[in-house]
Structure 1
């Protein structure tokens, strides 16, 4: 499918998106907050805070800020010339920079009579259902107190495995958006949006709207930048499109825009056609299925034959063992697994009724054979449809 793109979005449509955006999630990237030498740009922190206050003034809108910049701030304070590559040094830079970053936000919001609330997360907080719900409830409680949640990945304590699981703050912002059922996620970066070429090329133009994210769209995610200086961040436009895919598949809309543009948040919330809008796909997804499909990360995978793919994806049916042709990874009953087709493409995620050992014994077998193979038959399905969420758009053919 060719990506549908338009130079601008009608103001009334954007205005309606902004009006419905409660809560609103804003993600600001490291390059939006760093000076060319890598140190924290406190004036930019002030500007971001002032804009968040303005878009909430006179309304009941709640705002969550997902902010990168801790590692970058630490790099600046330590006077390093580039981002460390080993985990202990990254953790040290994050520990030093995080306190500096949150202090800057707190000073900025205190000027408006508000408090900044530090919320540090790891992959475990997303993957564990109870902790995921506690996190959501904690953020909602902060809303009631009138505080501004400042969310960041807990770089100081994460392991390499957890770092790979979460990805970066772009994905974290999408997960927070889904957890709160926030209608709109604004991702601020150091370019105007998604370009039809390299942002450094003066002939490239910003794409006003992308109706869906596919291979054609992701091919536009070039890594060029208009700013120099040390390498401080680990994201890029590819990461932002992956985050947008997480949010839009659950029904939320995403805008990619330039965080260095004066009053960008105020103008976006007024419906100005800035940046790149990626509207939500289809209807809103139920909260539990948001967690299954777009928050928690799979431990293993089940490969489905063509018949099982059709049953799960097009007919909304449960996954039967007879439709499973391969098992990948080691997992327990109740763990989240990917459901993939024979080409290796993920179509859904679900909570398995059987561990990997038992699943290997009953794959390709009819449900009535389970008792004879395992000595028991607690479930007739491998993954029940109520514990399953689609993560790709079904082929209409």
Structure 2
């Protein structure tokens, strides 16, 4: 039965990002499931034909490579894993394009690394490319560039859930649909009959996070932890996320009809600007500023700029114009912003009022260490 809130979200969602994981489009042995890709393409095409724009973030390059190379198990060696992904990526996009072309659409391959979105200019270039692909009526198929993304080189997104969240913010899509191997977020182990599906989440708080934490260690576990982080990134920017089951062959159609599918994570407040999305959730931070209670309150509750008087500690080496994280007394990151002063200068003026800047630094170009226009909250 349709839900009024979901119908409202679906109606306003002119652009949708849908993320499918490897298990959503592969068989149990890891090889590519072309029947599932056909169902997914049909589902996306129905949505496009209804006037929506759809971006697909898809894993599966390794599975496709395994299919072509006749491998029965996933390689564990990094170089071989990347080689299999290189073989598979061409087959994966070819399969998507062949399937979409039979339905009157074309697929466009877009491979990304973290470097492509952490830099502001490259971030905008990727955004413009994706929007142009959509204007041409094609379906962008995005994947992390597995052949060059190596953890040791710090060029990996970590997982495609995070990549999908970044893409959602990149193009200001009002809705991200994450296709999972479970129905949504449960209040316990999904395998237990006593666990209940949570249909709607209005805030990703400690209670919600506790559902994906090990009770003994307190650490996040399982794929749902990364999906919650993706939901946090998107909902903090004011957009919506739905996590649903890959066994639903027409999940996108159901979502766009407002059906009670999976778990809805509702957007928090008004949607924020593209610049603040990049600043808050994509740009790489160069340091940290620890705030006292007064500064935290001024930023979080009163929407004010960061003054030096409220800074208690400075960490990292950064220059004027770099992105820095703002932390509370417990070390939790609450905001990010572009600093007007270098780390050395902030160290010298921390705790001081702006009237004393000239005396200490010999100059006083800015009253604020970070102006409110260049600051975005990432947690409350």
Q: Give the TM-score normalised by structure 2.
A: 0.92
After the TM superposition, which residues 197-236 of structure 1 pair with which residues of structure 2 at under 5 Å, given as runs?
Answer: 197-221=188-212, 236=223
Change (3 A) 1:356 1:91: farther
SS in 1 for 2:5: helix
Name the counterpart of 1:373. 360
User: What is aligned with 2:102?
Assistant: 111
Mapping 1:1-397, distance limit 5 Å:
11-57=3-49, 59-75=50-66, 77-78=68-69, 79=71, 81-82=73-74, 84=76, 87-160=78-151, 166-221=157-212, 236-393=223-380
Deviation at 1:77, TM superposition (A): 4.5
Q: Is the 8 A contact 1:75 1:83 kept in 2?
A: no
Do the aligned partners of 1:308 and 1:320 also contact (CA within 8 Å) in 2?
yes
CA contact (8 A) 2:292 2:311 kept: yes
Q: Secondary structure at the match of 1:39?
A: coil
Please identify, of 321-330 and 369-378, the stretch whose mean Cα deviation from structure 2 is larger: 369-378
Distance 1:251 1:281 in 2: 5
RMSD of aligned Cα (Å): 2.1
Q: 4+ residue stretches of structure 1 with deviation over 6 A?
A: none
Other-structure match for 2:217: none
Count residues in correspondence. Answer: 373
Unpaired segments ≥5 residues, structure 1:
1-8, 224-233
Could you tell me which runs of 5 or more consecutive residues in structure 2 were left unpaired when the two chains were aligned.
215-220
Structure 2 Cα separation of the partners of residues 320 and 246 of structure 1: 26
Residues 216-252 of structure 1 show CA distances to partners (whole Å, capped at 9, x for unaligned) of: 11221279xxxxxxxxxx9700000000011011111
Q: Structure 2 CA distance, aligned partners of 1:49 and 1:249?
A: 30
Q: Compared with structure 1, are the counterparts of its residues 155 and 314 closer, same or farther at alpha carbon in structure 2 (3 Å cutoff)?
A: same
If the length of structure 1 is used for normalisation, what is the TM-score? Answer: 0.88
**CA gap 1:267/1:163 in 2 versus in 1, 3 angstroms:** farther
Is the partner of 1:97 in helix, strand or coil? Answer: helix
Contact residue 122 and residue 162 of structure 1 kept, 8 A: no
